[in-house]
């Protein structure tokens, strides 16, 4: 079963390979464009904290730009990038061609249509209320749901054509991630029970599951394919991967209530969310151990493989970000950190340090295999170090500043004192954000070299097999 990862796909024609490469490239290029746009908006927002009157025109206010930044990061960059990777992984791990190239292109068009329409609507002041990560008007979210349905159908059709009896572990995560998100999107759109506290409960359900049941399983599915591919060795434990899959499904859907501790939501619902947040340590630590043990004995190879370095950082981001989320879920911690800038640092640790680094690692590992073009060594090194250092500065600054901010509130100091105390940390947030954005420009250059431009000198992302690699 694990040999599927490195098996030859002789039944697939060269024409099928070219079609898959074109789809993978198009999704990557499209996602990269959204990354540049969304993070340019985010950088502007970062500087508005220190200079609120900077570009304070009607269409550049914080209230309009912030949901544009978050929604385009979620549904433009991360969603499209991960779906492109999922298509490539599904076809290659199943030893077959993509079920429908046409459906893949339709899905890409629908994803982009939703993101463009959502951005325009938010900029013009049309939204569905203050519902985090689902501010798009409901007709636009239906377009996104249609894209998910098309994607799910295509992935299932591809895996159903597999040349092996078993379904490779990556496809458990990616296919089910799409199906779970279809359910989440439908629940979040139906209006009948979304009044008063019902709306609050659904907001918690949706905002947390958009990360944990959409981005997380797709990113983990990429890990289960890319890590063995790069290292030319099987995953450490297939059984541990299956165990993490089912425990993630068991515990994650009920976490959303911990976003609303001390709210009028039923106390038992809040407590349930805390208990399940602690239980999430099981799939997080189990899955992280599986990835790290697969890399065991090959850590020195990271000096020769930036794709592996990106994925390693993503695994560490998954481990620490999720563990931090468990700690944050306790009421004693929420009393300090809730509604502070600490939570912004946490969200960037997970969505950037985990999900975004996972997408980058997957693209650098797999796109050159599809297009037979590589980025330059200097380009990929610049991207890695600027993104890593920038995100480190960003997360640490907001974590420290957010803690000080929360303690000011806890000690009932004047609110303006917390604003004054946060000011230097907002400057560091802008500095880190600037490095992160510059790394995205370098990434765009690397994507161009891997798709349409002149190939670079980075070499193959696949490392040579070492003695005892199959152990």
Domain 2-463 class, CATH top level: mainly alpha
- The Cα 416–Cα 317 span in angstroms is 33
Cα–Cα distance, 277 to 328 (Å, whole number): 9
pLDDT score of 54:
82
pLDDT at 370: 95
Average pLDDT score over the chain: 92
**pLDDT tens digits, residue range 177-212?**
999 999 999 998 888 888 888 888 898 899 889 899
CB pairs under 8 A, 24+ apart, for 288-293?
A: 288/315, 288/318, 288/319, 289/236, 289/240, 290/235, 290/236, 290/237, 290/240, 290/241, 290/244, 291/223, 291/227, 291/236, 291/315, 293/236, 293/237
169 Cα distance to chain centroid: 19
Break the chain into its structural domains and give their ranges: 2-463
Report the SS3 class of residue 416: helix
Distance separating alpha carbons of residues 224 and 256, to the nearest angstrom: 27
Q: What is the mean pLDDT of residues 115-120?
A: 98
- Both tokens of 61, joined, read 């206010």
Hey, what long-range contacts does 403-408 have (CB within 8 A, 24 or more apart)?
403/336, 403/337, 403/340, 403/342, 405/340, 405/341, 405/342, 406/335, 406/336, 406/337, 406/338, 406/340, 406/342, 407/336
pLDDT one-digit tens code per residue, 289-343? 999 999 998 888 888 899 999 999 999 999 999 999 999 999 999 999 999 999 9
301: Cα separation from own chain's centroid: 25
Mean pLDDT (whole number) for 143-154: 97
Q: What is the pLDDT of residue 11?
A: 59
| pLDDT tier, 4 (very low <50, low <70, confident <90, very high otherwise) | very low
Would you state the pLDDT for residue 464?
Answer: 62
Beta-carbon contacts of 428 under 8 Å, excluding residues fewer than 6 positions away, are 393, 394, 397
> How much is the pLDDT for 465?
62
Cα distance between residue 220 and residue 169, in whole Å: 10
Answer for the pair 348, 388: CB distance below 8 angstroms, yes or no.
no
Half-sphere exposure of 41 (CA within 13 A, CB side): 22
Burial class (CB in 10 A: 0-12, 13-18, 19+), 10: exposed
- Backbone phi and psi for residue 296, each to the nearest 5 degrees, phi listed first: -55, 130
User: What secondary structure does DSSP assign to 200-243, as a single string?
Assistant: HHHHHHHHHHHIIIIIHHHHHHHHHHHHHHHHTS--S-HHHHHH
| Distance (Å, whole) CA 151 – CA 107 | 6
- Residues contacting residue 339 through CB under 8 Å, at least 6 positions apart: none
Tokens of 219: 């990113």
Contacts for 85 with CB less than 8 Å, ≥ 6 apart = 24, 27, 218, 222, 359, 362, 363, 366
For 338, residues 6+ apart whose C-beta sits below 8 A from its C-beta are 261, 262, 406
Least confident of 39-43, 57-61, 213-217: 57-61
Contacts of 83 (CB under 8 A, 6+ apart): 27, 107, 111, 151, 178, 218
Q: Could you give the CA distance from residue 464 to residue 458 in angstroms, rounded to a whole number?
A: 15
| pLDDT number for residue 462 | 87
pLDDT tens-digit profile of 129-140? Answer: 778 898 999 999
Lookup: tokens for 150: 């098309």
> What does DSSP assign to residue 2?
G
The answer to whether the beta carbons of residues 60 and 84 sit under 8 Å apart is no
Model confidence band, residue 268 (pLDDT cutoffs 50, 70, 90): very high
**The predicted structure's pLDDT at residue 5:** 42
Average pLDDT over residues 409-424: 95
pLDDT of residue 238: 94
pLDDT in tens, 53-81: 888 788 899 999 999 999 999 999 999 99
Lowest mean pLDDT among 204-213, 385-394, 445-454: 204-213
């Amino acid at each position: 079963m694990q040999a599927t990862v490195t098996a030859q796909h002789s039944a697939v024609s060269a024409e099928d390979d070219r079609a898959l490469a074109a789809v993978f490239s198009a999704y990557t290029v499209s996602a990269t464009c959204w990354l540049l746009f969304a993070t340019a908006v985010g950088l502007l927002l970062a500087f508005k904290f220190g200079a609120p009157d900077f570009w304070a025109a009607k269409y550049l206010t914080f209230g309009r730009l912030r949901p544009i930044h978050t929604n385009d990061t979620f549904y433009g960059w991360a969603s499209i990038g991960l779906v492109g990777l999922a298509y490539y992984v599904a076809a290659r791990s199943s030893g077959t061609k993509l079920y429908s190239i046409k459906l893949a292109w339709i899905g890409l068009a629908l994803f982009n249509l939703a993101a463009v329409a959502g951005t325009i609507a938010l900029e013009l002041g049309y939204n569905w209320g203050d519902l985090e990560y689902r501010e798009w008007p409901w007709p636009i979210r239906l377009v996104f749901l249609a894209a998910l349905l098309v994607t799910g159908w295509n992935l299932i059709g591809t895996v159903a054509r597999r040349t092996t009896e078993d379904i490779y572990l990556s496809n458990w995560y990616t296919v089910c991630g799409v199906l779970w998100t279809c359910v989440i999107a439908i629940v979040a759109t139906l209006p009948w029970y979304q009044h008063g506290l019902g709306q609050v409960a659904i907001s918690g359900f949706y905002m947390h599951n958009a990360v944990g049941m959409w981005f997380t399983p797709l990113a983990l599915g990429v890990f289960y394919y890319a890590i063995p591919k790069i290292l030319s060795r099987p995953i450490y434990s297939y059984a541990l991967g299956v165990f993490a899959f089912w425990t993630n499904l068991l515990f994650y859907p009920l976490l959303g209530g911990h976003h609303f501790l001390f709210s009028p939501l039923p106390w038992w619902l809040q407590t349930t969310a805390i208990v399940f947040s602690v239980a999430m340590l099981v799939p997080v630590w189990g899955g992280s151990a599986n990835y790290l043990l697969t890399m065991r004995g090959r850590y020195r190879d990271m000096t020769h493989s930036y794709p592996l370095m990106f994925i390693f950082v993503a695994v560490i981001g998954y481990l620490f970000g999720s563990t931090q989320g468990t700690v944050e879920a306790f009421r004693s911690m929420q009393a300090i950190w809730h509604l502070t800038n600490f939570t912004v640092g946490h969200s960037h640790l997970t969505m950037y340090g985990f999900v975004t680094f996972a997408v980058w690692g997957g693209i650098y590992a797999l796109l050159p295999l599809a297009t037979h073009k590589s980025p330059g060594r200097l380009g990929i090194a610049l991207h890695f170090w600027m993104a890593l250092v920038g995100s480190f500065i960003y997360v640490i600054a907001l974590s420290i500043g957010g803690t000080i901010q929360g303690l000011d509130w806890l000690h009932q100091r004047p609110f303006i004192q917390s604003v004054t105390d946060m000011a230097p940390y907002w400057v560091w947030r802008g500095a880190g954000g600037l490095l992160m954005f510059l790394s995205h420009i370098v990434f765009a250059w690397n994507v161009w070299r891997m798709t349409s431009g002149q190939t670079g000198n980075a070499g193959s992302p696949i490392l040579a097999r070492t003695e005892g690699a199959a152990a």
